[in-house]
Amino acid sequence: MMRVCLDTNVLVAAFAARGLCADLLRLVMAEHELILLEVVEDELYRVLAGKLKLSEEALSLVQSVLGRYEKAPRTDTPSPVSLRDPDDEKVLVDAVAAGAQILVSGDQDLLVAAHESPIPIVSPRAFLTLITGGTR
């Protein structure tokens, strides 16, 4: 069992459509420890309500699903890795501070900096391959 942080783009994809990220979220919830970063949660609801125009009922359902998992607060720790987007730095810092063992993201800025990160940063497909041994 791993302590897993999912970035906003993974969660948006998981709740907005069927497919890889939805499968990944279900697997993490069933077999691993999902850590929901406060910074990610805030952005998730902004995107789902704003860009994707999810109804209040749908947003409430998302909240009820995610409400069962550990919430990791924002930290003021400086980022161990310099990234182009300060918001990405916050995600990485908060994931490390929360004791995550891995960060799953589709964000290229984070993925490119993975070799400098104190925790592994992997794409959704790479994570699914890692935890299923390539059987999915």
What percent of the chain shows pLDDT beyond 90? Answer: 80
Please state, in angstroms and rounded to a whole number, the distance separating the CA atoms of residues 39 and 98.
12
Q: In the prediction, which pLDDT does 107 show?
A: 95
Q: In the prediction, which pLDDT does 81 show?
A: 87
Please state, in angstroms and rounded to a whole number, the distance separating the CA atoms of residues 121 and 96.
11
Per-residue pLDDT band at 134 (split at 50, 70, 90)? low
136 has a pLDDT exceeding 60? no
H or E stretch covering 46: helix 38-46
29 has a pLDDT exceeding 80? yes
CATH of segment(s) 3-132: 3.40.50.1010
Per residue in 73-131, pLDDT tens? 999 988 888 888 889 999 999 999 999 999 999 999 999 999 999 999 999 999 999 98
What's the first-to-final CA gap in the chain, in angstroms? 18
Per residue in 46-62, pLDDT tens? 999 998 898 999 999 99
Q: In the prediction, which pLDDT does 135 show?
A: 63
Q: Where are the domains of the chain?
A: 3-132
Mean pLDDT, range 2-17, rounded to an integer: 95
Per residue in 76-89, pLDDT tens? 988 888 888 889 99
Using the Cα atoms of residue 69, residue 29, residue 54 and residue 52 in order, give the sign of their dihedral: positive
Q: In the prediction, which pLDDT does 133 show?
A: 81
The reported pTM is: 0.93
